[in-house]
Copies of this chain bind each other. A is one copy, B any other.
Amino acid sequence: MTRYLINFSYDGSNYNGYQKQKGLNTIQGKIEDALKYINNKDTKFSASGRTDAFVHANNQFGHVDIDVNITENKLKRALNSLLPDDIYVKSAKKVNDDFHCRYMVKEKQYIYIINMGEFNPIERKYVYQFCNKLNLYKMKKALKYIKGTHDFEKFSSNEHKEKNTVRSIYTAKIKKRKNYLIFSFSGNGFLKYMVRIIVGVLIQIGSNKMNPSDIKQIFSGDYKFKYKKIAPPEGLYLNNVKYKKI
């Protein structure tokens, strides 16, 4: 048995998210179908974390234990020949048996892209077509309240009832390129919907419907955050994952 670390990318447009669910089209499902063929038996594939339906990944990571004798490059090629063309394996790398692609994550990086200009049908599945101006100055001011270590429970779905909802955001940036805003976030971990809710709140702030300092009130529970403004999935990309050791 050899454990392999798999670096892969995907277009999430056609999937009900990363995680395998009976009867649904999922990234994990497609990868496990391919691995079953290569490993000659049902084979579990673990990823660094889930992504929601329609969310993309530039660099997702996962690990798998393979019993058959296969080189790193042959495993990469075998997977790519079996996978649909919206999932691509960039590399397969032998790792120690005690490596775990989820427990050993040091940092995750996400990006979120917004088009403030005219609706563009060509990128409708890859960029949030907000099509309105946003106040960049106010949003950048708000990033200061997002950065650092906080209990992000209010910035997440309670769906999984995570016990520990404290996370550290290392970097939070917004770049402007013509009519596009590219948000980037890095941190030690992200809760379900966390990036999309943060972006949703930033959009509220950029639209002058909230103030940057309201974020403090959200954390403290003083802000009447009646419904969670969640930015749509198509603008979100899992951009990279860094590990403690490989």
Contact with B along A7-29 (1 / 0, CB 8 A): 00111000000000000000000
Q: Is the CB of A173 closer than 8 A to any CB of chain B?
A: no
Say which residue of B56, B86, B121 sits within 8 Å of A124 (CB atoms): B86
Say which residue of B88, B120, B122 sits within 8 Å of A121 (CB atoms): B88
Copy count, this protein chain: 2
Is A121 touching B87 in the complex (CB atoms < 8 A)? yes
Q: Is the CB of A118 closer than 8 A to any CB of chain B?
A: yes
Q: Is the CB of A37 closer than 8 A to any CB of chain B?
A: no
Contacts of A58 in B (CB 8 A): 122
Q: Which residues of A contact B (CB under 8 A)?
A: 9-11, 56, 58, 85-88, 90, 118-122, 124, 126
20 sample A-B contacts, Cβ–Cβ < 8 Å, listed by A number? A9-B120, A9-B121, A9-B122, A10-B121, A10-B122, A11-B121, A11-B122, A11-B124, A56-B122, A58-B122, A85-B121, A85-B124, A86-B121, A86-B124, A87-B121, A88-B119, A88-B120, A88-B121, A90-B118, A122-B126
